[in-house]
Amino acid sequence: MPIEQTYLMVKPDGVQRGLCGEILSRFENKGLKIVAMKFMVIRKDVAENHYGEHKGKGFYDSLISYIISGPVLAMVLEGDNAVAVCRNMMGKTNPQDSAPGTIRGDFGMVTGMNLIHGSDSPASAAREISIFFKPEELITYKRTADDWIYE
Burial of 142 (0-12, 13-18, 19+ CB in 10 A): exposed
Give dist(CA 134, CA 132) in Å, integer. 7
Task: Report the DSSP beta bridge partners of residue 113.
Answer: 110
Phi-psi region of 89 (alpha: psi -120 to 50; beta: other; left: phi over 0): alpha
Give dist(CA 89, CA 134) in Å, integer. 26
54 is catalytic: no
Catalytic annotation, pick one of 33, 50, 87, 117: 117
* 51 three-class SS: coil
Phi-psi region of 3 (alpha: psi -120 to 50; beta: other; left: phi over 0): beta
Question: Which residues participate in catalysis according to the annotation?
Answer: 117
